[in-house]
Amino acid sequence: MNPHPDREHGRPDGVDDATVEAVGKLSEALETMERARGHLYSFHQLTGSADLQLGEAADLLERAGHTAIAERLRTDLVGRNVLHGRWTFQVVEEYDDDYAAHFRVAEKAVRDELLRGRRHVYEAEMKEARRTRGAEGHEARP
């Protein structure tokens, strides 16, 4: 067991606490964006499932003799855009290609400039401050 943290997450020489905290907050914002992206994928899949279920409901209504209602659902809702001109896959692609891509590039550029590209320096320092040295389950690294 190595009692020392890895250098990959260590604070570069000359970097102050305020910078580590600020870049840590930027990384936290990136993680929150990634969570939002995950919810967007959930939205995409749930909306697609709802559309398929809607089609099944229309089929069942038609079989039950409610042809006009079934046709109205198929015409008005089945396959409908969720935003003007867009299905959810297009919303996901735009989010990925624009906002998320720019966010990732900006976060990495700041880390490169201020922390020599090191990730999670703030969290690594928090781990060091909170772990119990020498105790099982509190190792500095694998």
pLDDT of residue 55: 98
pLDDT per residue over 58-78, tens digit each?
A: 999 999 999 999 999 999 999
Q: Counting beta carbons within 10 angstroms of the beta carbon of residue 97, is it exposed (0 to 12), middle (13 to 18) or buried (19 or more)?
A: exposed
Domain positions in the chain: 12-130
CB-CB contact of 97 with 40 (8 Å) = no
pLDDT at 45 over 80: yes
Instruction: Record the pTM.
Output: 0.86
